[in-house]
Structure formats: structure tokens, C-alpha cells
Amino acid sequence: MIDTLNERTSRLILKGQLFKCGNVASKNDVEKLETKIIHAIDPSIEKGKYTKKDLDNKLGYSSFVNKHCRERKYMFQIRKCNNALCCNPSRSKITLPWLPDPELDTSNIGHYKSFESVLGLDTTEKDLPSTLNDTVAHIAEQEQGCKNSVLTAQNVRGIIDCYECGKPRCIYAKNKLSLRQNRSLKSLRDKYDYSCGSVITPDGHAIQGVIFCRLQLSCISNIEFPYYSSGIGRSDLCCHCAKEGAERDKALCNSYKIVLPVCKECLESGKQTPKRQPKNK
């Protein structure tokens, strides 16, 4: 298969130049690199177990990510630090800053600042184009097969865990599932892995269009509000990391009708407590 792909790719031409195919790394080379990286970052990491759920409790890995990485919705960057005891000195005399996030230009409505003007600044994702696009929710509704208004606590019919982050996600249906539909759902869970933000039913499946999962989610999204209010989910599950034993902030409960539980570790890391419906004073 590799030889066939190389042969066909090498026939392609771009601007008068033929494509070139490099030699693939051997399995042995890949394993050596894998071992070297694990040893350098965190020896407690198990080979092949690289999901967020597997790595969350690895202190060496967390330290590496916090020191050397920057994660955004559409970007993941890695760079050396300036500590000679940690990283070998860069061979380049140029210090590369983090790639910036897009920022709106207040002097030119509807336009963004130039790349050069924001390079090197400490930017955020507040002006991310997709967060400003009113059609995102509409597109998600089309893909998931139902309006977001259907995705409420009273329509929660089950829970499915993301195989990447381990967070439980709600399965919705407009009507109570029949015995046959529940069997189809069980078969679906056994056959496929689910990840946050993906469509739960493949095309042509028996219960396609019957059950739904919210598409406007990712592994960094907190557990949905309907999970707690439906009565199906655990009330002590941290909404950020899905650890058991989390509690609701009592002070916030005095001011808001709905407050999600957050564990001590997530609070100490700076994560906010999701809340809704302020109480009238």
C-alpha cells in the first residue's frame, strides 16, 4: 500500500515540479523515538496510552505542557524554554514567539489586525472567527440532526463517555427509546468509540435521527448542564475533569439557581465554576 501511494504521489506535478516521497520510518525507529520522548517527558507514561484521560495525572507530562506548549482551538505549539538545565540551547539566534491569536481591529470594523502587529503580544481567543460567527450553531444543528432546543434535561436518555477525555456526554432523544432502540444503542456503544463533538450515529444506522449528541463540544468543554439536572448523571462529578467527590460552591449557590460541581484541583488550576440563572435579590 505504501509503495502504491508513493508511486501515484510521485506522478503529481506542482508548478512544473514532480512531488517527491521520503522514506517512511521503520517500526523500530518509531519505537526508539517513542521511548526517548517518554523518558525525557515522563517515564511513568505507558506506551500506547496517550489520551487525555491517561495523561491527566502524569505530573511530568503536565509540567512539560505548561512550560513548553500552548494549546488553542486550531493550534498546538511546542517550543524550547530558556532553562539550559531543561532544554538544549537553540541553534538559531532568533527567538521565536508564540503564534498570536487573531485580534479585531477597533479602528477598522469587520477587519483583523495584521499578523505583524500582534506577533509577540499575549493574545487570547476572544476574537476567534468561529466564536463571532452566528451561523456556527446553525451548522451544528444541521450536522447533529436536531435543533439545540431539543438538547434539554428532559430529553436525556443516556450517557456515553468520550474515549479521549473520559467525560460523560448526554444522549438525547425527543421520545423515550423503545426496547429495540435501546438494544441498537447498546450495540452502537460496543462497536464504536465516541469522542466529544462527533456525531453519535453513522450514516444509515437504525437509530440515526432518533438519538443525538451535542456537536458544539470538545474535550476542553465542561460537562453539560443537562447531565446534572436530568437525574441520570452523578451529582458529585467535577464538570471539568470528571473526577468524583467534587462539590458545588456554597457561596455561588446562594446567588445562582444552577451551579456545577468543581473539584479542588481544578479550582486551584484557575478553572471557573459554570453557573446559570441568577437568583433575584
Tell me the three state secondary structure of residue 168. Answer: strand
DSSP calls for 133-160? -THHHHHHHHHHTS-GGG-SGGGEEEEE
Element (H, E) at 59: helix 59-68
Quote the longest CA-to-CA distance of the chain: 72
pLDDT tens by residue, 14-42? 988 999 998 888 899 999 999 999 999 99
**Residues 52, 76: contact at Cβ < 8 Å?**
no
For residues 145-152, average pLDDT: 88
Taking the CA of residue 165 as centre, how many other CA atoms within 13 Å lie in the half-sphere pointing to its CB?
A: 19
Whole-prediction pTM: 0.55
User: How far is C-alpha 122 from the chain's CA centre?
Assistant: 22
Q: Give 156: exposed, middle or buried? Use CB within 10 Å, 0-12, 13-18, 19+.
A: buried
Q: Which amino acid is at 12?
A: L
179-217 pLDDT, tens digit each = 999 999 999 999 999 999 899 998 888 899 999 999 888
Which one-letter amino acid corresponds to residue 81?
C
In this prediction, residue 267 carries a pLDDT of: 93
Least Cα distance to 253 among 230, 270, 278, 231 occurs for 278
pLDDT > 80? residue 132: no
| SS3 at position 207 | coil
- Region 89-96 average pLDDT: 82
Q: What is the mean pLDDT of residues 103-115?
A: 85
Task: Compute the distance between CA of residue 236 and CA of residue 96 in angstroms, rounded to an integer.
Answer: 43
Question: Which pLDDT score is estimated for 133?
Answer: 55
**103: its cell numbers:** 485580534
